[in-house]
Amino acid sequence: MNNSTIWHRLAAIDSRILYLALLVMVAVPLLRPIGLPLVILDEVRDTLALIASFPEGSVVWLASEVAATNAAELRPMITAFARYLVMQNHRIIIGGFWTDGCNLARIWLDPIFEEMGAVYGVNYVNLGYRPSSTSVLDECRKDIINAYSDRDIAGRKLSEMPVMAGVTKASDIDYLVCMSPGTPGTSTYISAWRATGEVDVIIDCPTSGMYTTAGNNYQAGITKGLVGGLNGSAQVEQLIGYPGKAIRGMDAQGTGHFAILLYLIIGNIGYYQIRRMDREAKEHAGG
């Protein structure tokens, strides 16, 4: 059997070469973006229109269910939404049940709020992390301030903040924008607040990986908005006129996908070529 054909050599290629090739294919368009036009999905357009339909001063719960592990997708997403919510002059309550969620929201969003002139305690507040999402959200149905022990992420009194004026329970929240990389995530809020009739409008912002399951709730009308993954973040950035990390990353995302496709195709062709050669060699030996 001839083990020195190109297919055998390709099959035995060092994994590090594959890693390097992927790295280069993703890095180059990140440094030199081609700037291909984005396809804006109707669901993204509808989601932004839905937010805009709420009057000024509406109360939005921005669920910062993010972690450093999904920051690449959800940081541009939450950043773009935070900008848009400030532009709409809505009152933003940031909450989260991922250990990193509210802390990362503070690091990422505070500079943006400052840049846009939003004032902490007046236009937005960060409630901080709580374990046990289901029971805390259930408590919020009766009394948000008590559920959070009247303290925000930095230990300041919630009851004295103008942003919380008139917001005593979950039903005082007009709509919810939820970053959702898994559980706790949109499904948690659906069970706690949507199913119990507290909040009717939930906007789901899953990672690409969760996008396939998020579509189910969107189709059923349980969630009213859907913006998914880096692609969705890029569309929001473009629609609100603040191009950022997501738009820049979309070309790299494209070449990354093509690199994976290329690996799949070459790997499969090689597999069938080698199998064919093995079969032929066996027939020769047998015949």
Partner 1 sequence: MRRTVPLILSFTAGILMILDSYFKIPIINNFATDYLMRSISVSVAWAAGLGSLNLIRLHIRHISSKRQNYQFSYVLIGVWLFMLTCGIFLQGNTANPFYQFFYSNIQVNLSAAVYSLASFYLASSCYRAFRARSVESTVLLVSAAIVMIGSVPVGAAIWSGFPAIQGWLLKIVNDSVIRGWSIGLTLGGLSQSVRNLVGIERGHLQAGE
Partner 2 sequence: MQGVNVPAGITASLQPFGIYLGVIVTFGVWSMLYRENPFYRICEFAYVGSASAHGLVTTFANTIKPGVLTNIIQNGNYWEIIPICLGCLIYFQPFRTKMWIARYPMAYWVGYNAGYALTMRTAMPLLTQIRQTMLPVIVRTANGISLVDSINNILFSLFVLFTMSYFLFSMNVYTGRYSFLLRVARVIMMVAFGAGFGTGVGTRISLLIGRLDFLFSEWLTLY
Residue 231 binds partner 1, judged by CB under 8 A: yes
How many Cα atoms are found within 13 Å in the side-chain-facing hemisphere of 194?
A: 24
Residue 28 binds partner 1, judged by CB under 8 A: no
Q: Shortest CA distance to 214 belongs to which of 93, 72, 44, 38?
A: 44
Residue 78 binds partner 2, judged by CB under 8 A: no
**Count of residues for the chain?**
287
Q: Which residues contact 12 (CB under 8 A, 6 or more apart)?
A: none
According to CB under 8 A, which one of 53, 89, 135, 183 is a site residue for partner 2? Answer: 135
Residue 257 binds partner 2, judged by CB under 8 A: yes
Contact string 127-146 vs partner 1 (x = CB under 8 A):
---xxx-xxx-xx-xx----
* From 88-96, 102-110, 115-123, 172-180, span contacting partner 1 (CB under 8 A): 102-110
Residue 35 binds partner 2, judged by CB under 8 A: no
Window 198 to 217, contacts with partner 2 (CB under 8 A): 207-209, 211-212, 216-217
Q: How far apart are CA 4 and CA 277, in angstroms?
A: 12
With respect to partner 1, which residue has the nearer C-beta, 5 or 208? Answer: 208
Residue 253 binds partner 2, judged by CB under 8 A: yes
Residue 251 binds partner 1, judged by CB under 8 A: yes
Residue 147 binds partner 1, judged by CB under 8 A: yes
With respect to partner 1, which residue has the nearer C-beta, 168 or 208? Answer: 208
Residue 183 binds partner 2, judged by CB under 8 A: no
Contact string 154-193 vs partner 1 (x = CB under 8 A):
xx--------------------------------------
With respect to partner 2, which residue has the nearer C-beta, 51 or 102? Answer: 102
Q: Which one of partner 1, partner 2, none interacts with residue 190, CB within 5 to 8 A by kind?
A: partner 2
Q: Which one of partner 2, partner 1, none interacts with residue 192, CB within 5 to 8 A by kind?
A: partner 2
**Three-state secondary structure string covering the chain:** CCCCCHHHHHHCCCHHHHHHHHHHHHHHHHHCCCCCCCCCCHHHHHHHHHHHCCCCCCEEEEECCCCHHHHHHHHHHHHHHHHHHHHCCCEEEEEECCCCHHHHHHHHHHHHHHHCCCCECCCEEEEEECCCHHHHHHHHCCCHHHHCCCECCCCCEHHHCHHHCCCCCHHHCCEEEEEECCCCCHHHHHHHHHCCCCCCEEEEEECHHHHHHHHHHHHCCCCCEECCHHHHHHHHHHHHCCCCHHHHHHHHHHHHHHHHHHHHHHHHHHHHHHHHHHHHHHHHHHC
Q: Shortest CA distance to 116 belongs to which of 84, 162, 161?
A: 84
Q: Which one of partner 2, partner 1, none interacts with residue 271, CB within 5 to 8 A by kind?
A: partner 1
Residue 47 binds partner 2, judged by CB under 8 A: no
Interface contacts to partner 1, rule CB under 8 A? 11, 13, 15, 18-19, 22-23, 34, 36-39, 41, 67-72, 100, 103-104, 106-107, 130-132, 134-136, 138-139, 141-142, 147, 153-155, 208, 211-213, 215-216, 219-220, 229, 231, 250-251, 253-261, 263-264, 266-268, 271
